[in-house]
A and B are shown apart, each in its own frame.
Chain A
Amino acid sequence: MVELKINKELVKKVAENARLELTEKELTKFTPELKEVIIDSFNKLDKIETDEEPSFQPIQQTNKLREDKAEKSLTQEEALRNVKEELRENGYIRGPKVL
């Protein structure tokens, strides 16, 4: 098992990777809770030998492909229907800065 030090810094870093900003209160609460789950539960898997293939699905599945042909999809108006009025601009969504 990988060397592991579960502390506030790690939890904060992981949360940031997932685009979550934790309050100090959340950080204090989550850190021991997550530590318990990882150490007492997740790490149990260390005890079992595995030379099996991983099961990404629980049952055998075959890839289903369709013909590469354009099909009817949402209109621009439909695609925007769940966007709030203030964020709609000339048929587009006004978003945050990306650069």
Chain B
Amino acid sequence: MGKYKESLKYFVEESKKDFSFAEKNFEQIIKEIRETQKNGLNYIETFDEDYARAQFWELKNKKQGRLFGVPITIKDTACVKGLESKSGSKILSGYKPLFDATAVAKAREEGAIIIAKTTQDEFGFGTFATNTEKIPKNPFDNERSCGGSSGGSAGFTAFTKTYHASIGESTGGSIACPSSFCGVTSLTPTYGLVSRLGLIDYANSLDKFGPLARNIDDASLLLSIISGEDKNDSTNLGKEYVEEEVPIKKIGIAKDFLEKCDDNVKKVFLEKMDSLKQFFKIEEISLPLNVEYALPAYYIIATSEASTNLAKLSGLRYGAQGEPTGKHFDEYFSEIRSKNFTEEAKRRIILGTFARMSGYRDAYYLKALKVRTKLINEFKEAFKKVDLLVNPTMPVIAPRFDEISRLTPLQNYAMDLCTVPANLAGLPHLSSSIGFSSGMPIGLMAIAPHLQEKRLYSFGKVIENE
């Protein structure tokens, strides 16, 4: 019963009975947002109190919806009607979308209050949410990273004492990584399960929205709401996630990933697996191709797609704008882009442009897409033997900012080792907090076959209760 009282379902029920329950929570979250802003914790990118209050008072007489009165934070990369949405980038500063991303609209229809936008690496380019102006600080240790790129969403979810959930976004692990570093629960869905309309692109064949919450029930509830058909998104699968517990018999430990993890992470992970032996048959599974080739294939595909998706940002119709008079368009576009992208965005645009250039395209971009097929097939073979694959979400605990600043780009990219394969293959995954090392949370990642989010939910329930 104690657990139930912490859930959004309980909050919604109580709020419908007595609106002051929702009001108390609402006032509390506003106080907390102000506190994080004052203390420089940097979880919040954009907060407009009037915008939040207007939604709250409009709810009062409605008393309906599965998220009635629930404050939801949204990663900056999602378009929110009337609120600055810039995907953590200066080049989109001032852009106020004229529409809600479908995922945001669906949450609103169920009575959610879109309370604030959360900080992230510019366009999702990063593992530590440091490639941006407002760098979120880990609530467990402010000298450490929240993880990225949905760092603000995870940091605030861990920080807040209120009933709340967040919509994050993942390209190569940007939901799971910060969940792990901040000790919260997240579900990254199958590619195409949640509409991508209104998602400011990083890499269009990889990007997906997904929920971060303080427990599996809340994450599952939010996913069930934001998933589903959207005829305006050509990559949407037209499927809906419906929460349901299904039997899980066999779990495979992805041993190649585990071996690459730090000892403190391995220890906590293996202790947890030991405690789960009573519920599941556990065996080791090898994914030799994924451990070797997923990172390079991912970084080629992701940067290639990013370099084309970001080509449209040229300082004319929205976002950062300069003075074009007397300039040739090449000169004007170069000026705006060079001034407003961070170093990491420039690096990735150059890498992607290179991989698609005449003479290199077949060797890099096309090759990476073929390797991707091989890697997806390796997962499919593994799922013939087990219901789920598990590994630590991140190979390390949240690093300190001074440690991060010493990493080369390649060392930085290597941190995505455990999260990239599932993302590259579009496979749904859960990250759930399973313990601590040196006071910092450690996450367990479970990967399911395409559209088997129910398995993740069922497994997540067991992990949480065990």
A residues engaging B (CB < 8 A)? 1-2, 10-11, 14-22, 26, 29-30, 33-34, 36-38, 40-46, 48, 50-59, 61, 63-64, 66, 74, 78-79, 81-84, 86-87, 93-98
Please report the C-alpha to C-alpha distance between residue A14 and residue B358 in the assembled complex, in whole angstroms. Answer: 11
* Complex contact B324–A87 (CB within 8 A): yes
> Across the interface, do B350 and A96 meet the contact criterion of CB distance under 8 Å?
no
Q: Does B368 contact A (CB under 8 A)?
A: yes
Could you say which of A11, A34, A82 contacts B318, with CB atoms under 8 Å apart?
A82
User: B357 to A17, Cβ gap below 8 A?
Assistant: yes
List 27 contacting pairs A-B, 8 Å CB cutoff, sorted by A: A17-B357, A18-B307, A19-B333, A20-B334, A33-B347, A37-B410, A40-B410, A41-B410, A42-B300, A45-B364, A46-B363, A48-B374, A53-B370, A54-B366, A54-B370, A54-B373, A55-B372, A58-B376, A58-B425, A58-B427, A61-B237, A82-B317, A95-B316, A95-B332, A96-B324, A96-B329, A97-B328
- B337–A20 touching, CB < 8 Å: yes
A22–B346 touching, CB < 8 Å:
yes
**Nearest B residue to A15 by beta-carbon distance?**
B350
Instruction: Select A78's contact among B98, B231, B329, B364, beta carbons within 8 Å.
Output: B98
> A33, B426: Cβ atoms under 8 Å?
no
Determine if B49 is an interface residue (Cβ-Cβ < 8 Å).
Answer: no
Contact partner, B367, options A22, A50, A66, A79, Cβ 8 Å: A50
Chain B residues whose C-beta falls within 8 Å of the C-beta of A98 in the assembled complex: 328-329
Chain A residues contacting B94 (CB-CB under 8 Å) are: 82, 84
Known pairs A26-B343, A41-B295, A42-B300; A11 contacts B355 (CB<8 A): no
Q: Quick one: given A20-B334, A44-B293, A45-B371, are A14 and B354 in contact (CB under 8 Å)?
A: yes
CB-nearest residue of chain B relative to A33? B409
- Known A-B contacts A17-B357, A48-B371, A59-B191; A93 and B98 likewise in contact (beta carbons under 8 Å): no
User: Is A45 touching B353 in the complex (CB atoms < 8 A)?
Assistant: no
| Interface membership of B28, Cβ < 8 A | no
Q: Is the CB of B293 within 8 A of A57?
A: no
B366 A82 Cβ-Cβ under 8 A? no
Question: Hey, which chain B residues are within 8 Å of A42, CB to CB?
Answer: 296, 299-300, 355, 364
- Which residue of B is nearest A64, CB measured? B234
Whether B296 contacts A41 by the Cβ 8 Å rule is yes
B235 within 8 A of A: yes
* B39 sits at the interface (CB 8 A): no
The 7 closest A-B CB pairs, nearest first, are A58-B426, A54-B369, A82-B318, A50-B370, A96-B324, A96-B332, A52-B373
Among residues of B, the one whose C-beta sits closest to the C-beta of A10 is B354
Chain B nearest Cβ from A49, distance in angstroms? 9
B329 touches A95 (CB 8 A): yes
Select which of B326, B338, B354, B355 is within 8 A of A20 by beta carbon.
Answer: B338
B351 at interface, CB cutoff 8 A: yes
A14–B353 alpha-carbon span in the complex (Å): 7
Q: Which residue of A lies closest to B328 (CB)?
A: A97
Q: Give the chain B neighbours of A15 by CB distance below 8 A.
A: 346, 349-350, 353
Q: Which residue of B lies closest to A17 (CB)?
A: B353
Closest to A81 in B: B98
Chain B residues 272 to 321 lying within 8 A of chain A, measured CB to CB, are 289, 292-293, 295-297, 299-300, 307, 311, 314, 316-319, 321
Interchain CA distance A44-B375 in the complex, whole Å: 14
CA distance A95 to B325 in the complex (A): 7
User: In the bound complex, do residue B98 and residue A37 qualify as a contact, i.e. CB atoms below 8 Å apart?
Assistant: no
Given A50-B371, A52-B373: A1 and B332 interface contact (C-beta under 8 Å): no
B165-197: contact bitstring with A at CB < 8 Å (1 yes, 0 no)?
Answer: 000000000000000000000000011100000
Q: Taking A19-B330, A45-B297, A96-B328 as contacts, is the C-beta distance between A61 and B372 under 8 angstroms?
A: no
